[in-house]
Amino acid sequence: MSSLAAARADNFYYPPEWTPNQGSLNKFHGQHALRERARKLDQGILIIRFEMPFNIWCGGCNSMIAKGVRFNAEKKQVGNYYSTKIWSFTMKSACCKHEIVIQTDPKNCEYVIISGATKKTEEYDIEDAETFALPADEERGKLADPFYRLEHQEEDLKKKKEAEPVLVRLQRFSDARHSDDYSLNKALRAQLRGQKKRVAEEESASKKMGLGIRLLPAAKEDTAAAAHVKFSSKFEKNRKNKRALIQASSIFPRQSGSSTSNKQLELESKRRKISAAAASNLLVGGFKPSAWSQGAVPSRKQKGISITGRHS
């Protein structure tokens, strides 16, 4: 089978109970060739893919639906303009499921919104866009008149004289910019090499941090904000407290006896009440008890005097 139709025929399965006098396979199975798209064909409605011809505002949620967005629309005929059919397309917006109805306008060769949305008005200024306006159909018909054509030519010459200095300046700027193509290519390649080097450095820095994405360059605002961030030091505080309690505990083993054990428990409870910072300062010699500072502990000379006094 060399023809395309014959090749497509190989993809259909004909069951054993099918006979040629029963018609096509779709008729044999009792279904339409368009399947689900033709489920409302008895009402004159066909499901098609409708592409939005212009930007519109949704009437339900006031969100913009851009030109080119496609919908599953119900297509049906609602009238005629002479011998041309007028088609209506009913669809639901994806943002809020609001129903939108659009019809064709054969007279003006455009689409018209019937309900559910409003067309987005977009102003266009030819002078701001720096382009030329195409002549309308009426002006094209008037160009057949010699006098109108003469006036039109005069206006064109006037516009040419006004725009000529701007065009000359643009031409000179373009020539000066593209005169030395070697320097331009060299600068462009240098810029590309610098960009590749920067990307490689960012990727290596991300790999060191264990990240799969490239980070943006550091900013002064980020550095200042990070300097003011204070993380919780609960773990470090608990570690210091445990270390202080261990250093403040007795190195001697516990003695037997209830009185000794009770005293040990009282001592441990008192030690727990002492703050970790004060206990650490006491152990490292940061400050001395008040009795030491007041001279409550006798010096060696005082001890010697008391001892000699006793001997005497």
Read off the DSSP letter of residue 66.
-
CA 299 to chain centre: 77
Angle at CA of residue 242, ends 239 and 245, nearest 5°: 150
**H/E element holding 31?**
none
Listing from the earlier edge strand, what are the strands of the sheet with 46-51? 46-51, 70-81, 84-92, 99-105, 110-115
Going by pLDDT thresholds of 50, 70 and 90, the confidence category of residue 73 is: very high
User: Does 149 have pLDDT greater than 70?
Assistant: yes
| pLDDT tens column, 120-134 | 987 766 666 666 666
| pLDDT tens column, 183-241 | 889 999 999 999 999 999 999 989 998 888 888 888 888 888 888 887 767 777 788 88
d(CA 81, CA 110): 13
**pLDDT score for 222:** 87
**pLDDT score for 258:** 53
Report the interhelical angle of 234-248 vs 258-273 (nearest 10°): 140
> What b/e readout covers 80-97, taking b as 16+ CB neighbours within 10 angstroms?
eeeeeeebbbbbbbeeee
The amino acid at residue 289 is P
- Give the N- to C-terminal CA distance of the chain in Å, as an integer: 140
Number of Cβ within a 10 Å radius of residue 267: 13
d(CA 105, CA 248): 95
Beta strands in the chain (DSSP E): 46-51, 56-58, 64-65, 70-81, 84-92, 99-105, 110-115, 117-119
**pLDDT score for 154:** 82
Q: Which two tokens stand for residue 9?
A: 């025929």
| pLDDT tens column, 243-296 | 887 877 777 765 555 556 566 666 666 666 665 555 555 555 554 554 444 444
Read off the DSSP letter of residue 113.
E
**pLDDT score for 156:** 81
**pLDDT score for 312:** 41
**What backbone torsions phi and psi does residue 189 show, to the nearest 5 degrees?**
-70, -35
Q: Which two tokens stand for residue 295?
A: 């001279």
Note the pTM of the prediction, 2 decimals: 0.39
Half-sphere exposure of 69 (CA within 13 A, CB side): 14
